[in-house]
Each structure stands twice: as C-alpha cells, then as structure tokens.
Amino acid sequence: MVAQMEGTTVKNGDRFRTLCNIETVALVQWKAPATSSGPCEIPAGTFLVANHDQKEDRPGFSCIPEDYEAFTAVVVPEWERFQEKFDGYYFVLHSADIGTKLELIDPK
C-alpha cells in the first residue's frame, strides 16, 4: 500500500521512488543569475530525494535523483553539462502525486 501525504509538507531529505514514468522538466542551474530547462522523463523505479523543504503554500517540491551523477547524462544535454558555468540540475514535482506517481520511502 502506498501512503498518501495529504496536507503534509515534503521535507529536505525525504526519499521517493517513482511508480511510473514521469514526464517533467529538468531545471538546469548555472553559476550565473540564470536557469534553463528541458523536457525529460524520469523512469519508473527511480529513487529521488527532496533537496529543500517544500514551502507550505506551494503545490510542488524540488528533488534530485539519488544516483545524481549517472542521471545527469540522461537529462542534461552534453552541450550544457560541459559548459564552465554548469552548476547542476533538479526537478520540481507535485506533492499531489505522492501516493499515485511517487512512493514516499523515508519520511523525515
């Protein structure tokens, strides 16, 4: 049985497993006052970790793959990840998807 998180705020360090493929956007950070993004698909069975506390008045939360380094080549195009100012990436997913698309593994 998958636990729902209605009314619960995702906390930094919460772990999730994707229950299905999730179409989303990879948000790319730069060592500059800018971000970029690109569409991607997070495969079913991927483990994700919340990398910040979710703000209580927001429907989404940010997270990164547990196997961050290996996943980078999947979601960030080569021309971006080898730029000098490339500084990482993250996803924003919806807490409403916990229990249907995401399974909470280790609540904090």
Per-residue pLDDT tens, the chain, 108 aa: give them: 344 445 568 999 999 999 999 999 999 989 988 788 889 999 999 999 999 999 988 899 999 999 999 989 888 888 888 989 999 999 999 999 999 999 999 665
CA 80, CA 53: separation in Å to the nearest integer? 27
Model's pTM, two decimal places? 0.85
What does the pLDDT read at residue 97? 94
CA 30, CA 44: separation in Å to the nearest integer? 28
Taking residue 71's Cβ as centre, other Cβ atoms within 10 Å add up to: 19
Hey, where are the domains in the chain?
15-106
Inter-residue contact 80 to 45 (CB < 8 Å): no
3-state secondary structure of 16: strand
Q: In this structure, what token pair is assigned to residue 84?
A: 């000098």
